[in-house]
Structures are given as structure tokens and as C-alpha cells.
Amino acid sequence: MSDDEKIVAQFEKAIKQMQKDLAYLATNKPNLKDTFFDKQNKILRALIEYYQYTQEHTQTLELDFFQYQVEKRKQTKRLEDKIISLEAICISHGIIDFPYLMNFGKKTLIREATELGKEKRMRLPYLLNEKLDNLESGERNSILSILQRGINEDINNLIKNLNDKNKHRLLTKREKREDLLNELRQKKHILNNGIEI
């Protein structure tokens, strides 16, 4: 028997004992007034009503909690299914390093995804990079050149713009190189962080 069941049993026993005591007093003490018994009966009724209310309320809370647990289990199952589906999609698209990427944390991943999305770029899947690494350097460079066409065009346009800006200025080779390097450093994250799509 649980602690709650013991308390309920003791309460019921006490109420029954009070009823017996009142019945005894009514039989054996005729000089007690009816108002005394009315008052005692009201107290007993109030205790019984309160007891019934708490029992019903407790049952309602237990039922609500049970339904909440059932819903939570369903929700957890749905989320687990979505996670497993997402992992399967990652694996089928060659992204097998997602456990490693998950260690970056939500903020870092969202920031990177936002930057890549704004620039219409993507990170190459792990298995594709692995396959590229196993190709001969000429083949690898050809494929990367195709994949990085947009980035290469951006870099070429940047160099052209720098040359146009500097056409009328006479700069030493060192100054030209420093200006170009500064501009290229600003675009460096493109090469390091992803490929244009």
C-alpha cells in the first residue's frame, strides 16, 4: 500500500469513527442538544465533501498527467523519426561527417548556413571531397574549376576592377600586389567555406 493509500484509509477510518461516536452520543447522552449534532454533522459533511473533491481532483490531475506523458512520448517519437530521416538523407547525399559538424553548435551552423545561402554557395559533401582527393590532380582541378566557376569569375572581375582603378595610377609592383592581396583576403572565406551553387 502506497503512502497516499495509507493516508486515504486513515482518513476514511477517522470519518467512520466520528460517525460512530456521534451515534453513541445521540443514544447515550440524551441531554445533548440537537444543535450540537447538527453542527457535528455539518463538520462531517464538509470533511467528506472536501475528501471527495480532492479525490476527484487528484484523479483528474493523474489522468491529465497520463495524457501529457502519452503526448510527450508521441512527440518524442516523431522528433526521433525526423532526426533518423534527416541522418538518412545526409548519408544518401554523401554527408557522412554530420556528427562532426554537429559539434560546431547551433549558432555556428546557422551562421555558416546563412552566409552560404546569401552567397548561393554550399559546402561540398564529405564523400565528394573524398572522391575528388582520389582523382589525379588534372581531373581534380578541372572539376573544381567547374564547381568554382562563379567564384573564379568573381576573382577575375575583382582583378579587372583593380586593374581599371589602377590604370591611371602608376604603382610599383609591390603596391599592386598589396592592393590585390587585400581585396582577395576579403573573398578568401569563399574559397575556405564553400562552393557557389
Dump pLDDT digits (tens) for 132-160.
899 999 998 888 888 777 777 777 777 78
DSSP 14-52: HHHHHHHHHHHHHHH-TTS-HHHHHHHHHHHHHHHHHHH
CA dist list (Å): 153 to 28, 124, 149, 164, 186: 110, 19, 6, 16, 15
Cα Rg of the chain (Å, integer)? 40
pLDDT of residue 28: 82
- Between 30 and 94, whose confidence is greater? 94
Domain residue extents for the chain: 3-77, 98-196
Q: Identify the DSSP state of 197.
A: -
CA 119/CA 151 separation, integer angstroms:
10
DSSP 69-115: HHHHHHHHHHHHHHHHHHHHHHHHTT---HHHHHTT-HHHHHHHHHH
Mean pLDDT score of the chain: 83
CA dist list (Å): 183 to 8, 87, 151, 161: 80, 39, 14, 10
Q: How many helices (H) and strands (E) does the chain have?
A: 8, 2
**For the chain, percent of residues with pLDDT exceeding 90:** 26
Cell, residue 158: 575583382
pLDDT tens-digit profile of 157-182? Answer: 777 877 777 665 545 555 666 767 77
For 56-67, what is the mean pLDDT? 94
Q: Identify the DSSP state of 136.
A: -
Q: How many other C-beta atoms lie within 10 A of the C-beta of residue 119? A: 17
pLDDT tens-digit profile of 36-58? Answer: 888 888 888 898 899 899 989 99
pLDDT tens-digit profile of 79-125? Answer: 999 999 999 998 998 888 888 888 999 999 999 999 988 888 888 88
Q: Yes or no: say if 90 and 98 are a contact pair by the CB < 8 Å rule.
A: yes
pLDDT of residue 89: 93
**What 3-state DSSP class applies to 135?**
coil
| pLDDT value at 197 more than 60 | no
Confidence class of residue 30 from pLDDT cuts 50, 70 and 90?
A: confident
Cell, residue 106: 547551433
- Between 149 and 10, whose confidence is greater? 10
pLDDT of residue 73: 97
pLDDT of residue 176: 64
